[in-house]
Structure 1
Amino acid sequence: MLSRLPSRARFLSTVAATPFPAGGNFTSISALEPGQLRSLLDESHALKALYRPSAPSATPPPQPLAGTSVAMIFQKRSTRTRVSTETGVTMLGGHPLFLAPTDIQLGVNESVRDTASVLSRFNDVILARVGHTSTIEELCEHSTKPVINALCNKYHPLQTLADLMTLEEKWGRGGVDGRTISWVGDGNNIIHDLMVGGAMLGANVRVATPPGYECAPDVVERTREVLHGGRELKLTPDASVACEGADVIVTDTWVSMGEEDQYDQKVAEFAGYQVKESLYEKANPGALFMHCLPRHPEEVDDEVFYGDRSVVWQEAENRMWTVMSVVMAQRGKSVQ
């Protein structure tokens, strides 16, 4: 259960939640307004409170997605995205349909445009985990049903929803405001959404990336647009500087799917970016650790990853409640 609002004023406690538009595409955190982000997080918390197996209930919870079919396009494999979506949609009474590259013709014998047109005739929602951002954009352009970006090379908004939900469970609703989120690693799709989402919730954001692996300029610009209340965005190549005064340190895999041939090069270029105890000496007492998984030892050592400060398993579980929230919003449903 969420704790009460802290006593000091919180930015988003004064901003009314704005319902995510029914039938709208969910492509990135950058595309949201702060009130829409607030609405999705509030729904995620409500879903977890109602549907989690340990939640007390005299009667079975409702199934508001009964009759809803969700096409799940997976050009890239995933443990958390597939299991969380299939389980969550089923829990709500919907029908998830997993579509691997060997199951459909997407981009091989059939164009993305034609695939979008066909699936729109069968399904109510299209969730896609793909390689290129252009694929998500083309699906959105030609689908007559809402599209969820479950990962592309530039964005991973479902992960950011889960990360922010986890932080609110630790710090309370609105509790991200005034905190410092520190990133150490690649300037990739994970931090692209997290930096914008953290800024929307009133956080300071500090990002350490090796030279040549910086975040996309347009995402940095969007982050600066939503910063408020004197909060700062700091970009640096120095992991120690980024972690100074951190309330949570976040990292991710250095070598993404499809980059396996770059492993030796990237590990060498990311030397000094492993999250370990020496970085936590720079952080605030009680600072948390997050990683979206799968994790590799060169990114974070065992002491931090399996230690008391780590919330990676809670973070992984919240992938389910947040994707449920997005599908519910797109269908104009709510349990609040």
Structure 2
Amino acid sequence: MRHLVSIKDLSSEEFAVLVDRAAHYKKVFKAGNLSESQKNHAKLIGKTIALVFSKRSTRTRISTEGAAAFFGAQPMFLGREDIQLGVNETFHDTTKVISSMVSCIFARVNRHSEIQQLVKHSSVPIVNSLCDKFHPLQAICDLLTIKEHLDYTKNKLKVAWIGDANNVINDMAIACLKMGIDVAISTPHGIEMDQDIIDAGLEIAKSNGTKLECTHNSIEAATNADVLVTDTFISMGEEYAKATKLKQFQGFQVNSEVCSHAKPNYKFMHCLPRHEEEVSDDIFYGEHSIVFEEAENRLYAAMAVIDVFVINKGDFSAGHDSVSN
């Protein structure tokens, strides 16, 4: 049984399959062909997909429930106020019970150790829908979005991340490097990427002929970049440190000055929700921004994951011939 915990756990070929499947299901969904929709809807009729969410969500909940419904499954949302997970019942007991009644568990939790416990005790695939270490669904969506606009299979690209060292860039950096994209990461002084991510990234870069650079200079990272990316400076659960973090991140807003160092046709991305301290209005809503297409692509990323890990039981080659690249 295969679980989706991080992009680091996938081969380059497996990750490419997930991006291609997402593109395929986007075409199917947009086409609105009734017979094709009915064929996909029949794949999980009578099945249930659990959404175990310890953290609130907009895009993750909508995309996961929509993807489950697309394949005919019943999505079951289980928020932290709805079940006993980690409160009056152990992770072991709750996971055993939930996994005995559903076909898959999408888990949006606090700590990476909680994902590891779910994987250890579940009898069905676990899909990491966010933890403090990784966010693989966002990486699938982001690479689909980059492929649509700049096609990394035909062009050598550079992605520049400007902001915090967090779960989003942990998976996005690995995903980009696996797909042959150079990555430059700029974080404030005192904030460093996790060493295991750097080590894994450098190993991939060496084998793929790509570059991974880390700096504390946002202009340096943005120079000649094809894609500029940022995220919230204050993650959920860190609101108590808002004043301190905003001071630490001074000078790291993505604005016209930073973007002037990128390539003329650069694209701007943000996984949302967005705050003005991270990116100025003229960039976020400007002609280079693809943030809302990026958000929509979360739906097709979830479809791809359900297809591979649930319908095809972790077999990345099953049904691959029908995928339109």
TM-score normalized by structure 2?
0.93
Q: CA deviation at 1:204?
A: 0.6
Deviations 1:71-90 (A, max 9, x none): 10110000000011111110
SS of the equivalent of 1:59 reads: helix
CA distance in 1: counterparts of 2:137 and 2:208, whole angstroms: 26
Is 1:210 paired with 2:188?
yes
CA distance in 2: counterparts of 1:109 and 1:168, whole angstroms: 45
SS of the equivalent of 2:232 reads: coil
Q: CA deviation at 1:120?
A: 1.3
Q: CA deviation at 1:26?
A: 0.1
Contact 2:231–2:272 (CA<8 Å) still a contact in 1? yes
In structure 1, the residue matched to 2:10 is: 32
In structure 1, the residue matched to 2:35 is: 59
Q: CA deviation at 1:95?
A: 1.0
In structure 1, the residue matched to 2:175 is: 197
Contact 1:178–1:231 (CA<8 Å) still a contact in 2? no
Output aligned runs, 1:16-165, within 5 Å.
23-52=1-30, 55=31, 57=33, 59-61=35-37, 62=39, 63=41, 64-165=43-144
Return closer, same or farther for 1:137/1:299 CA change in 2, 3 Å cut-off.
Answer: same
SS of the equivalent of 1:331 reads: helix
Q: CA deviation at 1:319?
A: 0.4
| Partner of residue 252 from structure 1, selected from 231, 234, 239 | 231
Structure 2, unmatched stretches of 5+, are 313-318
CA distance in 2: counterparts of 1:157 and 1:295, whole angstroms: 19
CA distance in 2: counterparts of 1:325 and 1:29, whole angstroms: 14
CA distance in 2: counterparts of 1:146 and 1:60, whole angstroms: 26
CA distance in 2: counterparts of 1:297 and 1:174, whole angstroms: 33
- The letter for the 2-side match of 1:57 is N
Structure 1, unmatched stretches of 5+, are 1-22
In structure 2, the residue matched to 1:240 is: 219
Q: Where do 4+ consecutive residues of structure 1 move more than 6 Å?
A: none
In structure 2, the residue matched to 1:170 is: 149
Contact 1:132–1:153 (CA<8 Å) still a contact in 2? yes
In structure 1, the residue matched to 2:315 is: none
Q: CA deviation at 1:60?
A: 5.0
CA distance in 1: counterparts of 2:158 and 2:243, whole angstroms: 32
CA distance in 2: counterparts of 1:255 and 1:83, whole angstroms: 23
SS of the equivalent of 1:298 reads: coil
- The letter for the 1-side match of 2:54 is Q
Q: CA deviation at 1:225?
A: 1.3
| RMSD, aligned α-carbons | 1.3
Deviations 1:204-239 (A, max 9, x none): 100000122211000111111111453211100000
Contact 1:136–1:149 (CA<8 Å) still a contact in 2? yes
- The letter for the 2-side match of 1:258 is G
Deviations 1:49-107 (A, max 9, x none): 0112xx15263512122222111011000000001111111021111100001110000
In structure 1, the residue matched to 2:165 is: 187
CA distance in 2: counterparts of 1:330 and 1:110, whole angstroms: 27
CA distance in 2: counterparts of 1:167 and 1:304, whole angstroms: 17
In structure 1, the residue matched to 2:248 is: 269
CA distance in 2: counterparts of 1:260 and 1:173, whole angstroms: 36
CA distance in 1: counterparts of 2:29 and 2:300, whole angstroms: 9
CA distance in 1: counterparts of 2:199 and 2:47, whole angstroms: 37
Is 1:325 paired with 2:325?
no
CA distance in 2: counterparts of 1:229 and 1:27, whole angstroms: 22
Contact 2:177–2:183 (CA<8 Å) still a contact in 1? yes
CA distance in 2: counterparts of 1:88 and 1:155, whole angstroms: 21
How many residues get paired? 311
Q: CA deviation at 1:174?
A: 1.7
Output aligned runs, 1:282-301, within 5 Å.
282-301=261-280
CA distance in 2: counterparts of 1:56 and 1:191, whole angstroms: 34
Contact 1:65–1:328 (CA<8 Å) still a contact in 2? no
CA distance in 1: counterparts of 2:224 and 2:153, whole angstroms: 19
